[in-house]
């Protein structure tokens, strides 16, 4: 466990997954980092290594190679909403 890490559940290792990590701060939108890792624990460890000043953050799985195809709406602030099933 890293700081006050909130991890929603552990995924299996092997396939790479894209995670979004949020620290609770807001600018023009919420502040986030994207991490490409095997699982949530690995993503949290990588984030903590690069951002040691961030003691409280949450980790959410965005998608992996098992996810279906999708297209996002145009956005200037990250992934935003997704149109699924294209």
Residue scoring higher pLDDT (49 or 10): 49
Q: Is the pLDDT reported for residue 3 higher than 50?
A: no
In a domain, 62, yes or no: yes
**36-83, pLDDT tens digit by residue?**
999 999 999 999 999 999 889 999 999 888 888 877 777 666 665 555
pLDDT tens, 16-27? 999 999 888 877
Residue 80 falls within a domain, yes or no?
A: yes
What pLDDT score was predicted for residue 83? Answer: 52
**For the chain, how many structural domains are there in total?**
1
Residue 1 maps to a domain: no
Residue 67 counted as domain residue: yes
Q: Which domain holds residue 26?
A: 6-84
Whether residue 55 lies inside any domain: the answer is yes
Q: Which residues of 36-63 are buried (b: 16+ CB within 10 A; e: fewer)?
A: ebebbbbbbebbbeeeeebeebbbebee
Q: Identify the weakest region by mean pLDDT among 1-5, 11-15, 33-37, 51-55.
A: 1-5
Residues 68, 83 contacting (CB under 8 angstroms): no
User: What is the structure's pLDDT at 35?
Assistant: 92
**What's residue 67's pLDDT?**
84
What is the rounded CA–CA span in Å between residue 24 and residue 78? Answer: 15
């Amino acid at each position: 466990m890293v700081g006050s890490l909130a991890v929603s559940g552990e995924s299996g290792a092997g396939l790479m997954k894209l995670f979004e990590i949020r620290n609770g701060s807001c600018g023009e939108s919420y502040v986030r980092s994207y991490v490409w890792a095997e699982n949530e624990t690995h993503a949290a460890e990588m984030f903590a290594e690069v951002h040691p000043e961030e003691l409280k953050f949450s980790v959410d799985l965005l998608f992996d190679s098992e996810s279906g195809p999708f297209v996002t709406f145009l956005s200037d602030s990250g992934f935003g909403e997704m149109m699924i099933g294209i």
